[in-house]
Structure 1
Amino acid sequence: MMSQDIKHKESANRGMIYMEDESGITSELTYTKKDNGVLIIDHTQTRKGLEGKGLASMLVKESVEFARKNNYKIDPLCPFAEVQFDINKDFRDVLVK
């Protein structure tokens, strides 16, 4: 049984948004936090066998919500995140100009 609980942990300038099940992390998104209020999404990964179920997409969406709540902008450096920003026009408000 897979949990859809999205978790978030942050250190001073790094963060990770992720989901896990009993055998560990199922999907993760990592970012670097810049001093200018920009989050650079540098990596998304989903466990083999779970790809294509929309997990990483949920994490990108969560990062957008997090950015909105905290007045951050996002630079989607990771190719997957970049595609998500291209597809989801409603994410544009947090996209770094």
Structure 2
Amino acid sequence: MEKTAVVLQDNGSGQISLYSDEQKAGFMEISVDLDQHLLTVYHTEVEEQYNGRGFGKLLLEALVQYSRNNQLRVRPLCPFVHAQFKRHEEKYQDIWYKEH
């Protein structure tokens, strides 16, 4: 069974981790700036043995849910997240922070 956990340090940096049967299967490197209501995602990684099982999208779903629950906009610096936001813009337009 898969589960996710968001862990933030006092300085706002942290990870969204994905576990499969209690083993860490992947993560997203993030930072949160509560003053600006902004979550920046830098990198998404899934362990090789878990590739092809949709775990990247599970991490993305956890990111989106966390952002919406905490009224945060998402700055997708991670290529995977940025590609998903572009591909499904209507699905993420409420949280996508686009720099001009």
Alignment partner, residue 6 of structure 1: 4
How far did 1:15 drift? Answer: 2.4
Bigger shift: 5-14 or 22-31?
Answer: 22-31
How far did 1:24 drift? Answer: 3.7
Q: What pairs with 1:1-97 in structure 2 (closer than 5 Å)?
A: 3-12=1-10, 13-21=12-20, 24-34=23-33, 35-88=35-88, 89-97=90-98
Partner secondary structure for residue 94 of structure 1:
coil
How far did 1:23 drift? Answer: 7.4
Is residue 42–residue 76 contact of structure 1 (8 Å, CA) maintained in 2? yes
**TM-score for the superposition, normalised by structure 2:** 0.83
Give the Cα–Cα distance (whole angstroms) in 2 for the partners of residues 44 and 58 of structure 1: 11
Unaligned 5+ segments in structure 1 are: none
RMSD over aligned Cα atoms: 1.7
- Code of the aligned partner of 1:16: Q
Give the Cα–Cα distance (whole angstroms) in 2 for the partners of residues 4 and 21 of structure 1: 4
- Code of the aligned partner of 2:7: K
How far did 1:21 drift? Answer: 4.0
Unaligned 5+ segments in structure 2 are: none
Give the Cα–Cα distance (whole angstroms) in 2 for the partners of residues 23 and 70 of structure 1: 26
Give the ranges of 4+ consecutive aligned residues of structure 1 lying more than 6 Å apart after TM superposition.
none
**TM-score for the superposition, normalised by structure 1:** 0.86
1:22-57 C-alpha deviation (Å, 9 max, x unpaired): 674201112011241111100110001212211111
Of all paired residues, the percent bearing the same amino acid is 22
Tell me how many residue pairs correspond in the alignment. 95
Is residue 29–residue 56 contact of structure 1 (8 Å, CA) maintained in 2? no
- Code of the aligned partner of 1:96: Y
Is residue 26–residue 44 contact of structure 2 (8 Å, CA) maintained in 1? yes
